[in-house]
Structure 1
Amino acid sequence: MKNESQIFGIRAVIEAISAGKTIDKLFVQKGLQGDLARELMSVLKKENISFSYVPIEKLNRLTRKNHQGVVAYASPIDFYDLENLVMQVIESGETPLFLILDQLSDVRNFGAIIRTAECTGVHGIIIQKKGGAPVSADTVKTSAGAVFKIPICKVDHIKDAMFYLQGSGINVIAATEKASGSIYDINLKNPTAIIMGSEGKGISSSVLKLVDHLAKLPLYGEIGSLNVSVACGVFLYEVIRQRL
């Protein structure tokens, strides 16, 4: 993580949150006491920001500065509001294409997907606030800077985002090996959102129940699945092929 994204000191972290900064990671010293510490906890609870209690030794390894028992890492980008973004895309007259990432955890896969999404004209990437890979320095590097060129939306729950997209006339398609049909059998010329799952578990079962279509890629080798960033690229370029 680049140092410019690191915020240390209780008051500095409170002010960063108040200014609307997105906090990707937050470490708080075990047993931290005092009025400022209580104010910080109140802010974290109000803004629903998760954090980890850690020993002071870990904080000392993160920075040599006077951290006062708190070290945070802010996202290097500003996130978009999903509803506003969807409305803008629809009003532009373009055929919407969105990408939903369900609990993707590897920052390098995340960066590679962002890069491919930008190259294929994806209008926005949707991620969940908790549980997924953060937009870190590694994400920025792997995306080759594409993270600054494509809108990314953080939502409380993937399922709520799906409901909103479907209510806006956008078909939600799950990329999963559990599908019986191929991606090549689905009409992608219509408004589309594609969901990619996590590296280990894929798309959660509760999300799969809500999608409009399930689709898979045909595999002819002995390996049962593709890397998620590679699979995502194939799906997105099939969208382009059909829309050309």
Structure 2
Amino acid sequence: MVFLFTFAPMENNTQIYGIRAIIEAINADKAIDKVFIQKGLKGDLFKEFETLIRRNGINSSYVPVEKLNRLTKGNHQGVIATISPITFFTLEELVEKVSAKETTPLFLLLDQLSDVRNFGAIIRTAECTGVDGIIIQKKGAAPVTADTIKTSAGAAFKVPIAKVDHIKDAVFYLQASGIKTIAATEKTENSVYDISFKEPCAIIMGSEDLGISPSILKVVDDKAKIPLLGEIGSLNVSVACGVFLYEAVRQRSL
């Protein structure tokens, strides 16, 4: 089987195209971020392909053929997969790796963050503040693209990132591992400056438009908001994340 790779200027990320090539890539455990599928595809091979995508929890999107034509000039055969430039951890691997350190663990969970540049900026701040690992959801999360790497100033190669099926399950796992979970949300009276970050903890940031999912807010250990003194109702998520992380740094340095 021959793998077809290209660098697409619009996505600026490594790609594989063709159903059989992508099937082989999945079976070879390549770190596939997302698959773009032409609407209306049929056939036995395509059914096998769809089943494999679902079984592996790979993020996918059904798009018009014009979208695929813009992503690559090659013969895409109706499907294009983007490959992550980094290797992801499982949650269990990440927690075990961090627990082996002698420092107090600090994790960052991103609930459905979708903008790659926000993601890159957050990774950069996470590296600067000593975050031990970032946890994202397999489906719906911003992919790690070349733009993410650039915005992170290369920090994406330094901070371990784990992918999980559901952020809520990650919250439960971290709590069972002795990690306090703290949600950044305006739906609380607690200020970020009133919450303790000195013990092992995981800070949860929500998506750009919807914030943290209500189901996750119900199960976290604590909630905190950033005081806003102007007329604008919210901060950019990467800026808000920086406020939380540096408050953790401040408290831990006292």
Segments of 5+ residues of structure 2 without an aligned counterpart are: 1-10
Deviations 1:19-69 (A, max 9, x none): 112322212233434554343233223323343333434333322222222
Deviation at 1:123, TM superposition (A): 0.4
Q: What count of residue pairs does the alignment treat as equivalent?
A: 243
Structure 2 counterpart of 1:139, from 134, 148, 152:
148
Distance 2:62 2:190 in 1: 46
Name the residue aligned to 2:160.
151
Distance 1:58 1:146 in 2: 30
Deviations 1:194-244 (A, max 9, x none): 001111111111111111111111121111211111111011111111111
Alignment of 1:94 with 2:94, yes or no, is no
Alignment of 1:193 with 2:202, yes or no, is yes
Distance 1:228 1:31, change over 3 A: closer
Q: Which moved further from structure 2: 113-122 or 42-51?
A: 42-51
Runs of 4+ in 1 over 6 A off after TM superposition: none
Structure 2 counterpart of 1:29, from 13, 38, 41:
38
Q: Aligned runs of 1:1-80 on 2, under 5 Å?
A: 1-3=11-13, 5-80=14-89
SS of equivalent residue, structure 1 residue 199? coil
Alignment of 1:81 with 2:90, yes or no, is yes
TM-score, scaled to structure 2 = 0.90
What percentage of aligned pairs have identical amino acids? Answer: 70
Residues 59, 140 of structure 2: 8 Å contact kept: no
What letter corresponds to residue 216 of structure 2 in structure 1?
Answer: V
What letter corresponds to residue 157 of structure 2 in structure 1?
Answer: F
Structure 2 counterpart of 1:163, from 164, 172, 175:
172
Deviation at 1:122, TM superposition (A): 0.2
Distance 1:101 1:43, change over 3 A: same
Distance 2:194 2:66 in 1: 55
Name the residue aligned to 2:252.
243
Q: Aligned runs of 1:210-225 on 2, under 5 Å?
A: 210-225=219-234
Deviation at 1:142, TM superposition (A): 0.8
RMSD (CA atoms): 1.6
Deviation at 1:140, TM superposition (A): 1.2
SS of equivalent residue, structure 1 residue 150? coil
Alignment of 1:118 with 2:127, yes or no, is yes
Distance 2:194 2:174 in 1: 22
Deviation at 1:124, TM superposition (A): 0.4
SS of equivalent residue, structure 1 residue 87? helix
Distance 1:155 1:188 in 2: 24
What letter corresponds to residue 223 of structure 1 in structure 2?
Answer: I
